Structure 1
Amino acid sequence: MTRRPGAYVCGIDAAMDVIGGRWKVLILWALHERACRFGELRRELTGVTEKVLASHLRELEEDGIVHREAFDEVPPRVEYSLTPLGYSLNEALAPLGRWGRTNLLGDAAPAGH
């Protein structure tokens, strides 16, 4: 994980350093159930650009949250999945998702988001 020793004020500050950005949390939720290819993620995250998705995936991989696996096939195939650290981060975000469903969406959102 890219850390800034001594630069964090609290645990939330440190966590936000990892999940900051509009799409990172949504990438975590998309990868919670199964590994996905880049195109699958792009279709699921309506509105994200290829450049931003690639950048966020690279950052999450550098932070040890996402695992990138390249298969030796023709055409090339790459899949992204959560690491154990990524799953634990997703679990930490679950209460935030429940809060949003209850207080902002009136519990009308699909389960898990």
Structure 2
Amino acid sequence: MDEYSAHHLDDLFGAMSDATRRAILARLAQSDARVTELASAFTISLNSTSKHIRVLERAGLVTRSVQGREHVLSLNAGPMAEAAGWLEFYRQFWTDRLAALEDFVVKKRHLDKHGSKQ
């Protein structure tokens, strides 16, 4: 993994690590929304909501378009595929390891039950 990819994954996982930011992503998965509309759904200030949005924008998870005085946000789920790919590599690693452990345990039980064939 090159340095850019590692840094980008840091940004992605960092952005998705916060419950408020995950809630923003979930809301934007339903439809685009104005910044003020999103902010009204949370008990934090508009300024705090904007900071969360900027983190999501830096990670590439949210895009913004300006329509007059309104800032409309959209979900960009594409970068999540990179994070999912990284997780998939380790899921496969653990699946393989657990399968090997299961084989070992089954063979050991069989030997213990039937005795060694020496």
Work out which of the two has the higher radius of gyration on C-alpha atoms and give 1 or 2.
2
1:2-81 maps to which residues of 2 (within 5 A)? 16-45=13-42, 47-71=43-67, 73=68, 76-81=69-74
Tell me how far 1:77 sits from its aligned partner: 1.4
TM-score by length of 2: 0.54
Q: Gaps (5+ residues) in structure 1?
A: 93-113
Corresponding letter in the other structure for 1:25: R
Q: Gaps (5+ residues) in structure 2?
A: 85-118
Corresponding letter in the other structure for 2:78: L
Whole-angstrom CA distance in 2 between matches of 1:21 and 1:62: 14
Please list every run of at least 4 consecutive aligned residues from structure 1 whose deviation after the TM superposition is greater than 4 angstroms: 3-7
Flag the structure with higher helix content: 2
Whole-angstrom CA distance in 1 between matches of 2:27 and 2:44: 13
CA-based RMSD: 2.8
TM-score by length of 1: 0.56
Tell me how far 1:51 sits from its aligned partner: 1.9
Whole-angstrom CA distance in 2 between matches of 1:61 and 1:14: 10
Per the alignment, residue 107 of structure 1 pairs with: none
Matched pairs, number: 79
Identity of aligned residues (%): 22
Question: CA contact under 8 A between 1:30 and 1:44: conserved in structure 2?
Answer: no
Deviations 1:40-73 (A, max 9, x none): 101223x1221221001011111100001012x2
